[in-house]
Structure 1
Amino acid sequence: MINHKNTYVVATEVSNTVKQKFYESDLPRLEDQFQLLQGRLINQLVTVIDRSEGIHLHHLEALRGRHTQVQEALKTVDTAADQALFIEFNRRPFAIPAPLQFEPCPDFYDTGEITSAGDSTVFLQNRLARSRGKLSEVRPVIQSK
């Protein structure tokens, strides 16, 4: 017990020494460095903002050019010709999709049949009861709509 107390006292003293050094030496020195760098940082910030504004202005000019191109292209759209082209390239025979089927896993000796052994019966009955409950809630809504 005494060893643990001594370890705690030493750790507390070390912590206080580190804290005192941080607040009395490290932090003031860091603040002095920040004040020296402040003028340089502001000049760099102004330079970065000036460059970004130039890039933004260039981007806006490019957008204006594209906007005029789009406006000119929209004036030349022929709706009837576009619809005819769409119909021509999307004509396909219609077929009803095949019915969905269970795909058994050969590693587990699966079959497509419902298993009604043990807990699966209770699970299926609970699921059926919940479905019937939801159905009774939805029917009035369907009738009203």
Structure 2
Amino acid sequence: MTRVRRAAIAFVVATGAILAAASPAAAATNDSFGTSTNYPPSKCSNPNSPAGAVDFVDFGPGAPGGGNNDDYLEIKDLCGDGDGVRAYAWLNGKYLGTRHNGLASGSTVTWDPFPDGNVRGGDTVSLKVCSVNGFAGTPYNCAELAHKSVDG
């Protein structure tokens, strides 16, 4: 094989690898999603705003001081109504638990309920979020959403 032919083959292989890595099909899928409490009624200053939300984060900063993390939940209190927010999580129909954010309006609680800290491709993450008056209060204005992960 001549030097020119070897160089041409190397160029074609390198170009193909670069194009494959840059193509959208080769890029990882962002499986992040979320849901917020139902409204109205809401005791927020704007009654047409949700009081709380839970977001599944496919990749991000994670808990403060923990470094980048994969697959966790952020429970957000969006309203100064004096009530907290409770999130519930399931993975493939298996209940993983609940976490409460009673810190105050504008606060976020980071929670990683997933076994081994990971969601895998094909897994279904189901979330429920509710307003709640106190840690043991009765949940209200609840909303649920599920999402099937493309690539974990």
Q: Into which bin does the TM-score normalised by the smaller protein fall?
A: under 0.3
Greater strand proportion: 2
The structure whose RCO (Cα within 8 Å, separation 6+) is larger is 2
TM superposition score normalised by structure 1: 0.22
Tell me the TM-score normalized by structure 2.
Answer: 0.22
Find the structure with the greater CA-based Rg: 1
